[in-house]
Copies of this chain bind each other. A is one copy, B any other.
Amino acid sequence: METTQIQASRAINQAVEKAMQLDVNANISILDSFGHLKSFLRMDNAYLGSIDVAMGKAKTAMLFRMNSEAVGEFLNPENKTYGLVNTSGGLVGFKGGMPIKSQGSIVGYIGVSGGSPDQDFEIASAGSNI
């Protein structure tokens, strides 16, 4: 599904609001349902290294239509899924990426990086229901 500008803007604004509450400087990436970049914001003082982490979490969630940390379970070395983490240009399998839903349907994906995984999860969650 094509994420609309209005949906992307709403998702980013909701995520920023939560990030400010948590005092986190976040990178927030919004992909449409098929993985093309729709919108992006790097909050002031957010880590530069987190730009690509935010992108990677959103991409990972999109590729498997589930939260990035759920994909991460398949990447656990105990599962011996050698090399899986490097597929599709590199997966990022921890908290902060998830589907964006509107009225129950997936309309895109959000990826957040800048705080702890739990904070990133909370920020992404705030932007994931629009």
Contacts and interface: CB of A to CB of B under 8 A. Distances in A.
Contact of A40 (B35, B40, B60): B40
Nearest to A93: B82
Contacts of A93: 80, 82-83
Contacts of A50: 64
A64 B47 contact: yes
A103 interface: no
Interface string A26-57: 00000011111111111110011111110010
Nearest to A49: B63
Given A34-B35, A36-B48, 12 more contacts: A4-B44, A5-B42, A5-B43, A32-B34, A34-B34, A39-B40, A39-B41, A40-B40, A49-B87, A75-B83, A82-B94, A84-B92
A104 interface: no
Most buried by B among A48, A77, A86: A48
B72 A5 contact: no
A2 B87 CA distance: 22
Contacts of A117: 81
